């Protein structure tokens, strides 16, 4: 069983709220109220970096295409290989469609 390092009642409520979102528009509306635009873009960038790492693209290509720093790319790579498998989970779900 997976045990999260960020587990708390407040985080549970946040994730429960996110799971209630049903459309892309609802996601935009909620996340734009919840977060700053740069925070949203940073999360999106990390997902793109992870996708490119899975596709075996180089750090240079990833940085050029996403604008991510090598430090960000390294952090995402560490999460991909040593993290909670969240990226792997979401990529599996995306590829099921």
Per-residue pLDDT of the chain (97 residues; tens, 9 = 90+): 788 989 999 999 999 999 999 999 999 999 999 999 999 999 999 999 999 999 999 999 999 999 999 999 999 999 999 999 999 999 999 998 6
Q: Rounded to 5 degrees, what are φ and ψ at 84?
A: -90, 10
Output the pLDDT for position 3: 85
**Which residues have C-beta within 8 Å of that of residue 86, sequence separation ≥ 6?**
79
Output the pLDDT for position 58: 98
In terms of DSSP H, where are the helices of the chain? 9-20, 24-34, 37-54, 59-66, 70-82, 86-96
Output the pLDDT for position 2: 84
Output the pLDDT for position 23: 98
């Amino acid at each position: 069983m997976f045990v999260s390092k960020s587990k708390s009642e407040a985080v549970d409520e946040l994730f429960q709220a996110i799971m209630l979102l049903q459309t892309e528009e609802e996601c935009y509306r909620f996340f734009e109220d919840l977060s700053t635009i740069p925070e949203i873009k940073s999360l999106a960038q990390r997902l793109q970096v992870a996708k490119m790492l899975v596709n075996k693209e180089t750090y240079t290509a990833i940085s050029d295409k996403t604008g991510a720093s090598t430090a960000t790319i390294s952090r995402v790579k560490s999460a991909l290989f040593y993290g909670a498998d969240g990226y792997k989970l979401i990529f599996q779900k995306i590829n099921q469609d």
